[in-house]
A and B are shown apart, each in its own frame.
Chain A
Amino acid sequence: MGLTKQGLLQYTDWGLSVLVGIGVFLFWYVGYPHALSYQEQYQLFLWTTDYFCERLSVAGGLSDWLGDFIAQFYYIPWLGAILLTVLFVLIQRMVGGLWGVAIDLLLLHLMGNESVLPAYVVALAGVLLCSRLFRSVKWYWELLLVPVIYWLFGPMCWLYVAMRVLQLGWRHVWLLAYLPALMALAMLTVMQQWPYPAVFFSMSYYRVPMQMPLMMAWIPLAVVGALLFERCCKSSKTRWAASACCAIAALLYVPSGYDKDKYELINMDCLIRNEQWDEVISRADRHVVPTAFWSNCVNLALSQKRLLAERQFDFYQSGDDALIMPRHRDLTSNLPSAEAFFRLGLVNSAQRYMFDIQESILNGKKSGRCTKRIVECMMVNGHYKTAAKYIALLKKSLFYRSWAEEAERCLNRDDLVDRHPLWGRLRQLRFKNDFLFSHAEKDKIFGLLFMDNHDNKMALDYFIAEMLLRGNAQGVAQYMPWAEQYGGYRYMPVGYQDAVRAIQSRGQAQGTKYGEYVKRMMMTKGGAE
């Protein structure tokens, strides 16, 4: 039985959608699973009605809620990739044909901006779906539909009214004034605590308040443009050619959304989070991103493999902040430092960094990753009352629930915490005496930490490494015997040999990696300390 032309077109249409689906899935699952991990760690979706109602209490609440609903599944990258694929395919089919592909590709480009939230994609899909579902309703229903759609999906409602004007005809251009009037009314009443750029344009689509990349406006405009073109251009060949050109242009445009260095750092953080130390070191061999963040990640991975003494200066070192960075008021920079603090036994400092990282999430959301670590710090310190509070929070999530229930069993049970493989060990590694942390004196803190517990080899490695980073030749000479005595090395690590040779020759020895580091620091800073 031969296919009719209509049938063939339908097959082609669905085939295109399947191709889009496969492409989107592979893009996220194979190409950028770490981007999913990054998004996942800055939300904590709760399966409670309170959480749902709280989200729905502001405009765009449903898209925000659904966006976080999807983002929670990024915890398992293939699952997150599938859900994103569904969204992208939905958008492609709503827009239609190659125009839909072009829009999807623009979306992929946009999502390279790590602050663009899944709520934006949900809102786009939701609004396109609404415009499809309600295309045959009478115009007066818009009086009700526009405020409802605005409340559910936020400012993406601009796209809805634009599409409705196209569908209903220019006599209904008043809709374009009706929406801003509603927005202004919302600002005067229920959304007084929100600035107008948020109420009118961005709301929950972008993590940084009062900002949004222009592409977030271009994509809905592109949808409208595509529809207009489809309507105005009579020639199907021209329409096909134009959409194909746009899709190809958008395809070529996608990579520019993904800054190679930025995503390398995001990948490093993802690997640190999953304790894939070998992979961190392996990647570091291939691609250097000369930042303190990168150095923190690599040094932490080296220390976990007991390779810091051997190989520290095989890799780029950013300087005094290469092991632990000072406090930065953003949601990412201090993650590897917090991880290092935790493993060193500086539990309070880890808690501080994780707490402030969480509070630096500019849309005010909690972080599953940070909350989990904060709970661990509290458990180690025996602060059970506050730990119980955060455990109760995690128990309302999907992917942290089982972990939280395990942790809950240890509440108020010092014996269980002492026996816990990680928490028990950290209790042993903690300082026995209390004093104030000083970033400027962190080398001494590492040294004291090691003196408190000679099993804390990581503290010893960090102690020597920090002195080397500071160019403290006298300190290195003085404490190198510690490394020999307590380091557990069968021979003096090559890295230390290299450093000692450079120090003894006062920088005259050729080809020492440490010597090169000191020279570089002298050139950039006008002399190592």
Chain B
Amino acid sequence: MKRFLIGLVGFVGMLGFVGCVSTPTDVRKTDALPPVYPDYIGVTIPDGIAPLNFNMTDADVDRVYVTVKGNKGGELHANGAYADFDIDEWHALTAQNKGGRLTLTVCARKDGKWLQYKDFDIYVSPYAMDEYGVTYRRIAPGYEVGGDIGIYQRDIQTFDEYAIMRESAVPGRCFNCHTPNRTDPRQLTLQIRGEGGGTLVQLADGQQRWLNTKTDSTKAAGSYAYWHPSGNYCAYATNSVHQSFFVGRGQRIEAYHEFSNVVVLDVRTNELILTPELMTTTDLEIFPAFSPDGKWLYYSTSKACRVPAEYEKVKCSVCRIPFDAATGTFGHEVDTLLNGPKDDCSYTLARPSYDGRWLMYTVSSRSNFPVFQPDADLWLMDLTTGESRPLKEVNSNQADSYHNWSDNSHWFVFSSKRDDGMFARLYFASIDAEGKVTKPFLLPQRNPKKYYAESFDSFNVPDFTKTKVDFDIREARRQVLRDERIQVRIKD
């Protein structure tokens, strides 16, 4: 009996071993590129990124055999139900081929027959992505109820994801994604909306300060934050977002606000800095972003319309206003960089690269909130020449929006609904010194087809994080539930 059992175990083990290492035989070749998910054909990646595992889109393919060869040397294989590369081997190969390319040979087995597709390349950028990872908010793409939302961070070198703050930690609260200062999470801000709401400002000392940024002069708490490079100020929009819903068959949601202003918080004194140019009642200002030198504040602004009735008339412009960090005061001359009403479109979410070279923004046919506009696309302005162009290399026929730059300004992350028009996913692309932008790649997952098919969350408000976010969730929960807030004052 014992012998029989040993034999059985050995036989099963051998079968498993044979199954795992089966190499393609009697391979038929085709000139077609392999139908893979995600579409990693011709993308550019940084070295050290998590392996670009992929699946065949054809559900009947039961096995793939992938060979990856670097043009500067190195080779690795993956063999299984999908292409699942070893992390260490992948990192070594991408490091060896930095600035070069990886050529992938894909063989797929279907109905017992192997088919070898045309090789394709993945380019390894000469530019590093130095960050630890990305942060984002995961939320069901619903309507008015957030559900089981959470802010997460993802190590981009591996597949590890960690919760920073989940709804389970602060039940019933809705929160915005945290905003670090130029990808450095030691200094961050985030907002909790509604009952027990407040604005968290955490400085380098790690101490959490929960503020009430609502005052007699500001009608709502702060959101859509952006840090001043000095770390002494943080800009917020104070608005109240509403949504209306279409009765027809295409677009689901139109978001709008009835009022919106931009304010700057002096985090040293808890004082709000207001300026009449950003506190108008005839215009709605949103999405502030400081220039890398801290001397300008970019923002979007639209004329106040009778919303929701006039939702189609909402056209944003991108403006900038001088800011003096030494005195904490604004200038009074507003530059209009992009005129929405004149161009009959809406310019939003202008964000300068941290090296000051580029200004990336979103263009849609209307609205203050491009994430709900299927025609929303990313555009790029060269701040040295003022010339703009659509980023055809990365745009899709669904909403592409909410981008953020890496610290070295050679990578950007954005959310795109290109897969199905409903669920936003994170894409990364690089840009070189001449402004050449590469084909974006989807945030890698160990088994991407399964992961994204079974994920019922949208990934939004992405940003890079230089290091792992060290956030004391217990202290945050204590403060949120305690409901005590430091009242900010208006600076004289």
Residues of A within 8 A of B (CB): 50, 187, 192-195, 198, 209-210, 327, 329, 346-349, 351-352, 355-356, 358-362, 364, 366, 381-383, 385-386, 389, 392-393, 430-431, 433-438, 445
- Minimum CB distance partner of B452 in chain A: A389
Asked whether, in the complex, the Cβ of B143 is within 8 Å of the Cβ of A352, the reply is yes
Which residues on the B side are within 8 Å of A192 (C-beta)?
Answer: 163, 169, 473-474
Which of B147, B172, B254, B420 contacts A436, CB < 8 Å?
B254
Which residues on the A side are within 8 Å of B248 (C-beta)?
Answer: 348, 430-431, 433-435
Q: How large is the interface on B (under 10, 10 to 19, 20 to 34, 35 or more residues)?
A: 35 or more
A358 to chain B, nearest CB (A): 8
Asked whether, in the complex, the Cβ of B245 is within 8 Å of the Cβ of A352, the reply is yes
Chain B contacts with A in 401-423, Cβ cutoff 8 A? 419-423
B406 to chain A, nearest CB (A): 28
Asked whether, in the complex, the Cβ of A431 is within 8 Å of the Cβ of B247, the reply is yes
Assuming the A-B contacts A192-B473, A385-B420, are A364 and B245 also in contact, with contact meaning beta carbons closer than 8 angstroms in the complex? no
- Minimum CB distance partner of A360 in chain B: B145
A347 to B311, CA, bound (A): 22
A327 to B167, CA, bound (A): 21
Asked whether, in the complex, the Cβ of B169 is within 8 Å of the Cβ of A436, the reply is no
Which residues on the B side are within 8 Å of A187 (C-beta)?
Answer: 474
Asked whether, in the complex, the Cβ of A352 is within 8 Å of the Cβ of B252, the reply is yes
Chain B contacts with A in 225-247, Cβ cutoff 8 A? 244-247
Asked whether, in the complex, the Cβ of A436 is within 8 Å of the Cβ of B245, the reply is yes
Asked whether, in the complex, the Cβ of A355 is within 8 Å of the Cβ of B453, the reply is no
B356 within 8 A of A: no
Task: Enumerate 21 A-B pairs (CB-CB under 8 Å) in ascending A order.
Answer: A187-B474, A192-B163, A193-B169, A194-B169, A348-B248, A355-B140, A356-B145, A358-B147, A359-B145, A359-B147, A359-B148, A362-B171, A364-B147, A382-B249, A383-B421, A386-B420, A389-B420, A431-B248, A434-B250, A435-B247, A436-B244
A431 to B456, CA, bound (A): 28
A407 to chain B, nearest CB (A): 16
- B436-450 Cβ-contact flags toward A at 8 Å (1 or 0): 000000000000000
B329 within 8 A of A: no
Assuming the A-B contacts A352-B143, A434-B247, A437-B244, are A364 and B254 also in contact, with contact meaning beta carbons closer than 8 angstroms in the complex? no
A257 to B46, CA, bound (A): 61
Which of B142, B168, B172, B251 contacts A434, CB < 8 Å?
B251
Which residues on the A side are within 8 Å of B481 (C-beta)?
Answer: 195
Which residues on the A side are within 8 Å of B172 (C-beta)?
Answer: 209-210, 362
Asked whether, in the complex, the Cβ of A195 is within 8 Å of the Cβ of B171, the reply is yes
Which residues on the B side are within 8 Å of A431 (C-beta)?
Answer: 247-249
B111 within 8 A of A: no
B292 within 8 A of A: no
- B366-386 Cβ-contact flags toward A at 8 Å (1 or 0): 000000000000000000000
Which residues on the B side are within 8 Å of A50 (C-beta)?
Answer: 454
Asked whether, in the complex, the Cβ of B308 is within 8 Å of the Cβ of A436, the reply is yes
A383 to B417, CA, bound (A): 14
Asked whether, in the complex, the Cβ of B245 is within 8 Å of the Cβ of A349, the reply is yes
Which residues on the B side are within 8 Å of A329 (C-beta)?
Answer: 144-145
Asked whether, in the complex, the Cβ of B143 is within 8 Å of the Cβ of A355, the reply is yes
Which residues on the A side are within 8 Å of B169 (C-beta)?
Answer: 192-195
Which of B150, B168, B247, B419 contacts A194, CB < 8 Å?
B168
A528 to chain B, nearest CB (A): 25
Which of A209, A381, A389, A393 contacts B249, CB < 8 Å?
A381
A9 to B166, CA, bound (A): 54
Which residues on the B side are within 8 Å of A434 (C-beta)?
Answer: 246-251
Which residues on the B side are within 8 Å of A383 (C-beta)?
Answer: 421-422
A498 to chain B, nearest CB (A): 32
B174 to chain A, nearest CB (A): 11
Which residues on the B side are within 8 Å of A210 (C-beta)?
Answer: 171-172
A437 to B171, CA, bound (A): 30
Asked whether, in the complex, the Cβ of A193 is within 8 Å of the Cβ of B308, the reply is no
- Residue from B146, B246, B249, B481 whose CB has the most chain A CB atoms within 10 Å: B249
Which residues on the A side are within 8 Å of B113 (C-beta)?
Answer: none
Assuming the A-B contacts A50-B454, A193-B163, A210-B171, are A348 and B245 also in contact, with contact meaning beta carbons closer than 8 angstroms in the complex? yes
B477 within 8 A of A: yes
- Residue from A382, A433, A436 whose CB has the most chain B CB atoms within 10 Å: A436
A437 to B144, CA, bound (A): 14
A381 to B252, CA, bound (A): 11
Which residues on the B side are within 8 Å of A364 (C-beta)?
Answer: 147-148, 167-168
- Residue from B163, B168, B252 whose CB has the most chain A CB atoms within 10 Å: B168
Which residues on the B side are within 8 Å of A392 (C-beta)?
Answer: 453-454
- Minimum CB distance partner of B171 in chain A: A209
Which residues on the A side are within 8 Å of B142 (C-beta)?
Answer: 355-356, 358-359
- Minimum CB distance partner of A209 in chain B: B171
- Minimum CB distance partner of A347 in chain B: B249
Assuming the A-B contacts A195-B171, A352-B252, are A437 and B145 also in contact, with contact meaning beta carbons closer than 8 angstroms in the complex? no
Asked whether, in the complex, the Cβ of A359 is within 8 Å of the Cβ of B247, the reply is no
A187 to B142, CA, bound (A): 30
Chain B contacts with A in 136-190, Cβ cutoff 8 A? 140, 142-148, 150, 163, 165-172
A174 to B92, CA, bound (A): 53
B37 to chain A, nearest CB (A): 13
Which residues on the A side are within 8 Å of B252 (C-beta)?
Answer: 348, 351-352
Asked whether, in the complex, the Cβ of A348 is within 8 Å of the Cβ of B246, the reply is yes
A382 to B250, CA, bound (A): 9
